[in-house]
Amino acid sequence: MISAPRPAELAAMEGREALRKERPAGPLQDDRHDSGLDSMKDEEYCQLVKELQDIRLQPREAPAWPQGDPPPHAWAQQLTEDGDTFLHLAIIHVEKALSLEVIRQTAGDPAFLNFQNNLSQTPLHLAVITDQPEIAENLLKAGCDPEIRDFRGNTPLHIACEQGSLRSVSVLTQYCQQHHLLPVLQATNYNGHTCLHLASIQGYLAVVEYLLSLGADVNAQEPCNGRTALHLAVDLQNSDLVSLLVKHGADVNKVTYQGYSPYQLTWGRENSSIQEQLKELTTADLRLLPESEDEESSESESEFTEDELMYDDCLIGGRQLAF
């Protein structure tokens, strides 16, 4: 038995309030940036929901328009002050059925599907941030570009790896075009991190293993200091991650731009098991800590500073002092 629907305005207001309460705190919230949720007045939001709901009344077999031409819907031309389209907002508000319908009706226009808001987020970014793999799958099938970066230089796959969502990672890699897969795996964000780096930093072993199975470069180095995922694993004292990376061919003799091997980073750390794992695999010359410039310079300097030098030629009253 189907109950009578409530007025659209009431349902919209209640749904909006629920979203405000359910939005997660922390890094995920920082990345989500629900740009359309709080920037609109209540009456504007209610009107938007009504217009979006009207989309469902259109024929299911509506023909797609020629690729490149603007979509024949007025709502497809509208933007919020944050640069969000109707599709952005439908995904932000977790309106699954509505999002799928908008994707269906705009499948012939990649410009609309790949449109970036003021934070350079595409609908695909938002589908990953809000953990809606089914929406992400439909966006990819409709022609969304998984290589587009947001304002932090993150592709949707970067975000999925940082969140540890294996399902989203799987969808993004399975349903993207084959020519997109390797570039996305190799891409670095504006901090110089690949997807493998982000998954390693967060300690998501299942995501790390899956990325490596797809061909992610286990020895990729951060451009800032040259650390690989193995260096990061040592820094984080994650012995399970160290074992996994070594199992998948991580180069234990790869050094950072300062010349440090992963083994050398184990010195002074509490986890001795990591040191034991890497010791026998590391060449002898990369087991010893390299001498620092300070140590080298101190060896060549005199024992005393200029003000502290001992003198043996002091004369008082014409007589040499004895020390």
Average pLDDT over residues 295-321: 49
For residue 315, the SS3 value is strand
All residues at 6 or more sequence positions from 263 whose CB lies less than 8 Å from its CB, including other chains? 252, 275, 278, 279, 281, 282, 286, 287
| pLDDT greater at residue 106 or residue 294 | 106
- The neighbouring-strand residues paired with 315 are 320
Does the pLDDT at position 13 exceed 70? no
Range of the domain at 243: 218-291
Dist. CA 277–CA 174, nearest whole Å: 34
Q: Are residues 137 and 12 in the same domain?
A: yes
DSSP 217: -
Q: Are residues 140 and 47 in the same domain?
A: yes
pLDDT digits (tens, 9 = 90+) for 225-251: 999 999 999 999 999 999 999 999 999
Q: Are residues 36 and 133 in the same domain?
A: yes
Burial of 51 (0-12, 13-18, 19+ CB in 10 A): middle
Does the pLDDT at position 155 exceed 80? yes
What is the reported pLDDT for 57? 40
The per-residue pLDDT of the chain, averaged, comes to 79
187 CB-side CA count, 13 A: 22
Phi, psi of 315 (to 5 degrees): -120, 135
Sign of the torsion angle spanned by Cα atoms 201, 202, 207, 209: positive
Dist. CA 299–CA 34, nearest whole Å: 58
What is the reported pLDDT for 41? 57
- The domain boundary residue, chosen from 106, 130, 145: 145
Asked whether residue 274 is assigned to any structural domain, the reply reads yes
What is the reported pLDDT for 268? 86
How many other CB atoms are there within 10 angstroms of residue 210's CB atom? 17
Write down the residue that tokens 């934070």 correspond to: 119
What is the reported pLDDT for 108? 81
CATH number for the domain harbouring residue 230: 1.25.40.20
47 CB-side CA count, 13 A: 8
Asked whether residue 2 is assigned to any structural domain, the reply reads no
Asked whether residue 180 is assigned to any structural domain, the reply reads no
Alpha-carbon dihedral 202, 207, 213, 218, rounded to 10 degrees: -10
Average pLDDT over residues 100-129: 95
Q: Are residues 22 and 124 in the same domain?
A: yes
Write down the residue that tokens 């012939």 correspond to: 108
Does the pLDDT at position 15 exceed 60? no
Asked whether residue 152 is assigned to any structural domain, the reply reads no
Structure tokens at 129: 């941030």
pLDDT digits (tens, 9 = 90+) for 22-53: 344 444 344 444 444 444 556 666 766 666 66
| Total domain count, the chain | 2
Dist. CA 84–CA 90, nearest whole Å: 10
Asked whether residue 78 is assigned to any structural domain, the reply reads yes
What is the reported pLDDT for 185? 97
Does the pLDDT at position 111 exceed 60? yes
pLDDT digits (tens, 9 = 90+) for 182-207: 999 999 999 999 999 999 999 999 99
Does the pLDDT at position 161 exceed 70? yes
What is the reported pLDDT for 322? 60
Does the pLDDT at position 314 exceed 60? no
- The domain boundary residue, chosen from 130, 145, 160: 145
pLDDT digits (tens, 9 = 90+) for 53-104: 665 444 334 444 455 555 557 778 889 999 999 999 999 999 999 999 999 9
All residues at 6 or more sequence positions from 279 whose CB lies less than 8 Å from its CB, including other chains? 263, 287
Dist. CA 5–CA 254, nearest whole Å: 63
Asked whether residue 159 is assigned to any structural domain, the reply reads no
Q: Are residues 132 and 222 in the same domain?
A: no
> What single-letter amino acid sits at 79?
L
pLDDT digits (tens, 9 = 90+) for 248-282: 999 999 999 999 999 999 988 888 899 999 999 99
Asked whether residue 285 is assigned to any structural domain, the reply reads yes
- The domain boundary residue, chosen from 103, 129, 145: 145
What is the reported pLDDT for 173? 97
Q: Are residues 122 and 224 in the same domain?
A: no
Asked whether residue 194 is assigned to any structural domain, the reply reads no
CATH number for the domain harbouring residue 50: 1.25.40
